[in-house]
Amino acid sequence: MTSPEADNRYRHPTTGRWGQALAAAMNHGGWARARRAVMARLPFMTLASDVHDVVYLNWLVPVAAAQSLAPPGLTLWQQGGWTPFTVLSYRHRHFGPAALGPLRRLCPSPRQSNWRLYLADLESDSARPHSAEPHLALDPMVAAPVGADVTTTDPAGPHRTEARRAGSPLAKPGRADADAAGRDPAGLAAAGPGGAEPTAPVTHTVLFLKNVMDSLPFTLATRLFSDALPTHLPQSFTHQRVGHRIATTIAPGRGSAPALNAAVELTATRQFAPEAALFAQVFGSWDQAVRMLACQDAAITAVPTAGTTPAPLAWAAIDLPIALPQVVPALPVAPVQCALLAAFAQAVGPFCFVVEQVPFRVLSERVLPR
């Protein structure tokens, strides 16, 4: 099985000189290094969109098989030997710089599909890998191996990593996994000794395996100006809603995008279908499964243009304020065809649900040292 960073190198969906030239530009490590050197000195441009018809297709897969897709130093969330794998597809509504304000309505509205695994809570001991690889402190304020005596420069004076992390912007009260006081009723955050609140917020983080968009300009922009979203362009991509049914088809052609063929029907029953009964054992309830799968604060991906082994990781903070009442149950109307499922040998599901509309923001991005 190829490494995550090698598997995310771009290949155009059609052959010929044009496709070869685009692939060479998007995979060019020299450009990426020069861009990082310049943009590291500039403030991040927050991106915003109003996404709609967000379809979550979720499977439980053996963690031993899924772990091989994770970069060294990262450990997947797991329960009883199972870990979730999700494909979520949606349509943007005016995806562009948040600073444009009302003018953002002039920005395009591409389709996007995101394929991801889930990392162990980065503040908990379960996040430490079961190998000789160093565990990474994937913190938005400080990026360094756990256990290192790291200090940072701050107007208020030097602080250790733990002190800075306690002020992390990633703790967001009001999310679907938090009550009005900002606590964690689902038990997703690791409590301190005796059930006390942890001294630092837990960061719920996904590992991007694949990102697909149906727009060449957006694909080119994410490849040339971002490390956290190495996007693939398929030959065709449809994501269409008719009544209570949403159908998604991704045809890669000769390119590097993964193939997908799925259709779901919205329902009113918040319970697991027979093919997804294992989710009840792993998560305990329908609500807790949705909280885990939908409420995430950050995303990580291996950088495919770094030219080093192991590849560095790109980290992005996101804001996707999904409230549990917004989530609509759904059922597949036919067997789902998903290209990546073959990598896991066994998959239970899918467990499906839909978020009909939610604001989305990309808050920051940085490359973490290894």
The answer to whether position 136 is within a domain reads: no
pLDDT tens, position by position, 320-361: 999 999 999 999 999 999 999 988 989 999 999 999 999 999
The answer to whether position 148 is within a domain reads: no
**List of residues 6+ apart from 134 with CB closer than 8 A:** 73, 145, 146
Range in 108-112, 121-125, 127-131 with the lowest mean pLDDT: 127-131
Q: Check which CATH number belongs to the domain holding 359 and give it.
A: 2.40.400.10
* pLDDT surpassing 50 at residue 80: yes
The answer to whether position 152 is within a domain reads: no
Q: What's the confidence (pLDDT) of residue 122?
A: 55
More confident residue, 218 or 306: 218
Phi/psi of residue 32, each to 5°? -60, -40
The answer to whether position 194 is within a domain reads: no
Place 297 in a pLDDT band, splitting at 50, 70 and 90: confident
Burial string for 277-298 (b: 16+ CB within 10 Å, else e) reads ebbeebbeebbbbbbbbbbbbb
Arithmetic mean of pLDDT, 8-24: 92
**List of residues 6+ apart from 313 with CB closer than 8 A:** 71, 74, 136, 138, 300, 301, 302, 303, 367, 368, 370
Place 141 in a pLDDT band, splitting at 50, 70 and 90: very low
* pLDDT surpassing 70 at residue 171: no
The answer to whether position 189 is within a domain reads: no
CB atoms within 10 A of CB 27: 17
71 neighbors 119 (Cβ within 8 angstroms): no
- d(C-alpha 218, C-alpha 236), whole Å: 15
Place 2 in a pLDDT band, splitting at 50, 70 and 90: low
Structure-block tokens of residue 88 = 């979520």
Split into its structural domains, the chain has a count of 1
- Provide the domain limits for residue 298: 4-128+163-172+200-368
How much of the chain, in percent, has pLDDT values that exceed 90? 59
More confident residue, 252 or 310: 252
The answer to whether position 182 is within a domain reads: no
Burial string for 324-357 (b: 16+ CB within 10 Å, else e) reads bebbbbbbbeeebebbbbebbeebbbbbbbbbee
Q: What's the confidence (pLDDT) of residue 303?
A: 85
Q: What's the confidence (pLDDT) of residue 72?
A: 86
The answer to whether position 153 is within a domain reads: no
